[in-house]
Amino acid sequence: MAFIDWVLHPTELWAAFWFFMRHAPPDEKTVRLQVSGDMKRCYDFLEMTSRSFAAVIQELNPKLRDGICLFYLVLRGLDTIEDDMTIPGARKRHLLETFHETLYQKGWTFKESGPDEKDAMLLVEFDVVINEFLRLPTEFQDVIADITRRMGAGMAKYTRARVESLDDYNEYCHYAAGLVGHGLSRLFAVSGLEKKSVGEELELANSMGLFLQKTNITRDINEDVLDGRCFWPKAIWSKYADTEEHLIDRENRDKGMEALNEMCTNVLQHIPDVLEYLSQIQEPSVFRFCAIPQVMAIATIVLCYDNSRVLDGNVKIRKGEALKLISQATTLDSVKRTFYRYVDQLERKNHLDNPMHGQVAKIIDRTKLDIARTLKGGAPVDFTKEYLVLGLFFVTITTFFYSYLSERSSI
């Protein structure tokens, strides 16, 4: 099956080849970065907790690289505590609300994680993160501690509160991801690599985070419901099901699909802000760092739209597709072409009998118009059909020769 995927998507095979040629194994990366001691251990944790983020963080400008690595690890530690269902509620809320204070406590570690927490070791050795955090410039420390404080307070709130209204949903996503956008934008500015306005006008940065978080929440509905939680706002799901469990019930599939498509539509409304934010970013490594998660998100949400497999389990874009997206997220023009391509796919999936058809069609039309108006050379041309025909031809020829050679060898 994997072979057929590569054959049917030859541009993804080419992208994979160049990706693996350009990216060294984890041990070689840390040598190349010329880090040692506690900072080397921090980059080891970065690789362990997220390979995808590790790759883009390690390619950042040196003025930002260590600071954003530590920012990520601090928030990963906070998130690990929030996700741990074995920690009693009152204890968890205290940890979340005071986590920012631990950043200034040398030697602080946490060894109370549940047995299934995959990132527990980060907290067991969190003292190495603190040591390196305290070596950062004060401006970096202030941003990281402030965002950690605000995020911890928001997470503590939602250990007791439920996501009921759309306002609740936007607030929860702000705490979980919008604040990350705030923090990153402020770090970009204090590093001197981006204009001060990037770190001051934060509404667009918030939308960047919401686009990613809402995509994940929409995609993960099956897994979350089976784990006994649901982050879809009740204002949406209650129109289509009596309980969260009923959302993924096959007997309620038609209504579940309507709920899914409304959730996808809520995500898609952030596209204009995403493209506007990216248009502000000037430094090439910062641009790639910001753009890669966004192109992954547009590919994922288009895959989720009107896709019943989302209600049955976790869906993911193809590995080759992800590598192609990474390779193309280099300039604003290339990112706009990527968004245009996926919005074009969305248009083909947006059937007239879908209750969300009208709202989605408006988003599609606006996005295409905005991109075509600002893109060099106008609207992109889609060669998907040509690649598919070429791929099928290659499969046919390969199968024919394989059969021929098998017959000859049996004579």
Report d(CA 55, CA 19) in Å as an integer: 11
Query: Would you call 186 a catalytic residue per the annotation?
Result: no
Q: For the chain, how far is it from start to end, CA to CA, in angstroms?
A: 30
Query: Would you call 229 a catalytic residue per the annotation?
Result: yes
Report d(CA 237, CA 230) in Å as an integer: 10
Q: Are the CB atoms for 346 and 40 separated by under 8 Å? A: no
Per-state percent for the chain, helix, strand, coil, to nearest 5: 75, 0, 25
Query: Would you call 387 a catalytic residue per the annotation?
Result: no
Report d(CA 79, CA 270) in Å as an integer: 24
- 74: tokens are 């601090």
Of 91, 135, 229, 309, the active-site residue reads 229
Q: Are the CB atoms for 321 and 345 separated by under 8 Å? A: no
Report d(CA 325, CA 235) in Å as an integer: 34
In the three-class reduction of DSSP (H, G, I as helix; E, B as strand; rest coil), residue 222 is classed as helix
Q: Hunting for tokens 């192609």 — which residue is that?
A: 324
- 407: tokens are 């017959």
Of 99, 140, 172, 340, the active-site residue reads 172
- 168: tokens are 């609740």
Type of residue numbered 155 = M
Report d(CA 312, CA 310) in Å as an integer: 5
Report d(CA 60, CA 302) in Å as an integer: 28
Of 65, 186, 219, 288, the active-site residue reads 219
Query: Would you call 219 a catalytic residue per the annotation?
Result: yes
Q: What are the distances in angstroms from CA 235 to CA 75, 165, 226, 242, 263?
A: 29, 5, 20, 12, 11
CA nearest 301: which of 213, 222, 173?
A: 213
Catalytic residues: 172, 219, 229, 289
